[in-house]
Amino acid sequence: MTPAQRRLSAQLGHSFDEPGLFARALTHRSMGTDDNERLEFLGDAILAFLVAEHLFNTYPEAAEGKLTRLRSRVVRRESLAAAARKLGIGDALVLGTGELKTGGRERDSILAGAFEAIVGALYLDSDLVTCRDRVRTLLGDWFEAASMDDGSKDAKTRLQELLQSQGRPLPAYRIVETGGAAHCRSFTVCCRVEGIDEDMIGTGSSRRRAEQDAARRVMDVLHARDD
């Protein structure tokens, strides 16, 4: 494993039981053998499901058309390539000579495909629950950007307004853990809401994103009770 691949593994927050899966996810077809195209196929389907599931739960009143628009903004090539750049996937790619000479490490199509392949590899090496948590973290910025572009309110705002409408106290957020190096910080936040016995835990690469994640989980519990 190269230094860039070790850094990427740390950024992902997952140690692969089958390192060969991780290596294959980073191998472009220009290498000729054992490339990432099958993993890309699998990861594309898993991403579509997980993003759809997240949006379905986050926007319980949204119609199909709005959910489809939001999903397309998160999973489009440009968004996945940007997420790949933030992770440093380009530096960890294994490319053929031709792609190296023509800037393959920065090409959107290659980066987005590698991101999908990594999701596929992560799913095969762990399970859907782990994959769901990592996708929420890795695409957190793009979930937020999609909701803001659509004029939608974020989870913390929606939770606050819901509790106010019911005459209940506002939620209390508290940081319970921080970790990671300076370039890849992680935050764990708990959200306490009156009437819910268990504090909801959220994680993210910033305090704000962790609080948003915790608020979304509280909303999921409240909506499940209503159902």
Least confident piece of the model among 123-137, 176-190, 203-217? 176-190
- The CA distance from 150 to 195, in Å, is 31
d(CA 60, CA 40): 30
Contact 149, 73 (CB under 8 A): yes
Residue 145's pLDDT is: 72
The most confident of the ranges 108-112, 136-140, 166-170 is 108-112
| HSE-CB of 94 using CA atoms within 13 angstroms | 17
Res 184: pLDDT:
67
Does 39 score more than 90 pLDDT?
A: yes
Give the model's confidence band at 219: pLDDT under 50 very low, under 70 low, under 90 confident, else very high: confident
> Is pLDDT above 70 for 72?
yes
Q: What is the pLDDT of residue 57?
A: 87
- Over range 68-73, report the average pLDDT: 88
Domains and CATH numbers, the chain: 3-149 (1.10.1520.10), 155-226 (3.30.160.20)
Q: Between 37-58 and 207-226, two packed helices, what is the crossing angle to 10 degrees? A: 60
Residues with catalytic function: 44, 116
> How far apart are alpha carbons 174 and 31 in whole angstroms?
48
Q: How confident is the model at residue 114 (pLDDT cuts 50, 70, 90)?
A: very high
Average pLDDT over residues 22-45: 94
Name the band, by pLDDT with cuts 50, 70 and 90, for residue 149.
low
- Asked if 87 and 25 touch (Cβ cutoff 8 Å), the reply is no
